Structure 1
Amino acid sequence: MSEYQYYEFLAIDRPLTGQQQAEVRALSTRAHMTPTSFTNEYHWGDFHGDPSRMVERYYDAHLYLANWGTHRVMLRPPKAVLDPKQAGRYCVGEQVSAWTSGGHLVLDFTSEAEEEYWEDDVERSLSAIVGIRAELAAGDLRPLYLAWLSAYGAWERDEDAFDYEEEEELEPPVTPGLGSLGAPQRSLAGFLRLDDDLLAAAAARRHAREQQEAARRADEQARREQVRRQVRELHLNRLAQDLEAAWNQVETSITTKKPREYDQAVELLRDLHALALRDEHAHTFTQRLTHLRERHQGKPSLIERLNDAGLTAE
């Protein structure tokens, strides 16, 4: 089988200027070019341009493949939408790398493997994959995890693919939603030769972690709720020791005619109401609340607060 190489570049955010097109054209006179795209294929010889440099200067996405087994995708989102440090957590060896260039972050995903067969339409993959750039910009980090997982999946095929120090590095955060990939992400996974079983295992591991985290949060919430109930019960017990003092405090606070004191009076009345329900003397509470409202019906701000708190004496 003869050699075959395919190069494709896309400008997404803005088209190339005339000067930029002339600069790119100087790299290849036989490439098919538009203000937003560059494609070329080689059955012999090599492309004289540097794809990394072209992405840094001109294009937002690049795809390269060769029939001896190299698959490469590069993306250039703005740094403002994807933190370089965050992206760096998913880098591994030469398979997944990231660097900054001007106001952009350049992502480089590579898969190396001998082709068992050649797909004639594989060169159309960039249009299917390029949507992940917008997904990354929107905060979806699944494409980064897919690239990382693909890179480490290569370990099974070639134990010398990485330095042994990298084998000891911690796994980056497992992104949610691995079990429901969108079309661009599925295309990326296929292009990078991500093993389906490896992806399924990662999705199951993420699901297990989510379940464990949900259980932990539920336990913590239950613990906090138990403490809150205990504190509340202790407060009501103290209040029950001298109900008359509590009612007198309500009257004292109302007499000040100050909004803050009104709020304190209403809060104390709510506690007295809860205590009455607990100790089954709600009728007595209702009678006293009715008389209190009648005595202070000329205080609309207070009456409004009582109504909002549900203390209507009905």
Structure 2
Amino acid sequence: MSEYQYYEFLAIDRPLDDDEQAEVRSLSTRARISATSFVNEYHWGDFKGDPNRLMERYYDAHLYVANWGTHRVMFRLPCDLLDPEVVEDYCVDDQLSTWVTDEFIVLDFTSEDDAGEFDFDYDAEALLSAIVGVRAELAAGDLRPLYLAWLAAYGAWERDEDAFERDADDDLEPPVPPGLGTLTAAQRALADFLRLDDDLLAIAAQTSPPLEAIADDPGELAAWVTRLPIAEKDRLLASVIQGETARVRMELLRSFRGDTATVTPVPTRRTVAGLLDAAAQQRVRP
């Protein structure tokens, strides 16, 4: 097989109506399209649409793989659930980029490996379903997916010595979130998709404090809800009626966990060179 490209899009917060599906259908006559998904494979030719544009207008998640080594996954979230200024700390050139469109922030995670080819031993159609859970985790305030993407971007330097300029050695890591030593299944899938080296992850996790078990006690949650302003409750209820149940749940959990979270010490930030050197040393230890 000389060429293989796989495209998948998911609409999570709001399904596409008939007119929107027709607009997407005009971009591909062979794709499998529903109110919540778009899937197509290309063995020749190319997709006529612009994934960035589709994410801005219709979809909340996108995955792309090609047999020349490109791995790409994108997520769209409301800016009130993920602060663009927070995300900016984790951006790395084209490997993790972001932009704001209307009330949304779009995250673009990319991994390139020109020396390798797509592994046909796994099912491309299973990839996004394994990874997409990180979107809800980000919306709930879990920043581990952003750190994993940042780390994977600089980890590519070990495979490609021209990936960064030498002065990037002194770049400092972004804030280290808790729980890097105990990733969720979706975060583990994201790390694998972005080709994050296990030794590098283990080194990075050394300064990551343990993640406290999140136990949303129903009684505590109910008491917290009673303290919300009436106008806020009305706004949230109206959003549920308009079909934004998933978004409302993420917003409430994010606010609740933010109000009840335990403050943890901020780890000392390390340099890129320090992380890469420590990972290299760990690999050669007997």
- What TM-score results when the alignment is normalised by the length of structure 2? 0.70
Match of 1:246? none
Q: 1:145 aligns with which of 144, 147, 157?
A: 147
Work out the CA distance in 2 between the residues paired with 1:162 and 1:11. Answer: 35
Equivalences for residues 60-139 of structure 1 within 5 A: 60-113=60-113, 114-115=115-116, 117-139=119-141
Cα deviation code 1:161-220 (max 9, x no counterpart):
234555543210111100110111011011111111111110113359xxx959xxxxxx
Work out the CA distance in 2 between the residues paired with 1:166 and 1:82. Answer: 27
Cα deviation code 1:39-60 (max 9, x no counterpart):
0000011001111111011100
Provide the aligned length of Structure 1 versus Structure 2.
212
Work out the CA distance in 2 between the residues paired with 1:190 and 1:34. Answer: 28
* Residue range with higher mean Cα deviation, 114-123 or 62-71: 114-123
Contact 1:92 1:166 in 2 (8 A): no
Work out the CA distance in 2 between the residues paired with 1:88 and 1:149. Answer: 14
CA positional deviation for 1:93: 0.9
Work out the CA distance in 2 between the residues paired with 1:14 and 1:213. Answer: 38
Gaps of 5+ in 2: 211-263, 267-286
Work out the CA distance in 2 between the residues paired with 1:98 and 1:164. Answer: 24
Match of 1:24? 24
Alignment root-mean-square deviation, CA: 2.0
SS of 1:77's equivalent in the other structure is: strand
* Larger radius of gyration between Structure 1 and Structure 2: 1
Work out the CA distance in 1 between the residues paired with 2:104 and 2:265. Answer: 35
Work out the CA distance in 2 between the residues paired with 1:119 and 1:82. Answer: 35
Work out the CA distance in 2 between the residues paired with 1:153 and 1:193. Answer: 8
Contact 1:93 1:162 in 2 (8 A): no
Contact 2:155 2:197 in 1 (8 A): yes
Cα deviation code 1:1-22 (max 9, x no counterpart):
4210000000000101111111
SS of 2:59's equivalent in the other structure is: coil
Letter in 2 for 1:73: V
CA positional deviation for 1:124: 1.4
Work out the CA distance in 1 between the residues paired with 2:93 and 2:6. Answer: 24
- Greater percentage in helix: 1
Work out the CA distance in 2 between the residues paired with 1:22 and 1:51. Answer: 16
Letter in 1 for 2:61: A
Letter in 1 for 2:162: D
Q: Is 1:195–2:192 an aligned residue pair?
A: no
Contact 1:93 1:166 in 2 (8 A): no
Match of 1:311? none
Equivalences for residues 50-65 of structure 1 within 5 A: 50-65=50-65
CA distance 1:165–1:50, shift in 2 (3 Å): farther
Structure with more relative contact order (C-alpha pairs < 8 Å, separation 6 or more): 2
Gaps of 5+ in 1: 215-314
CA distance 1:146–1:119, shift in 2 (3 Å): same
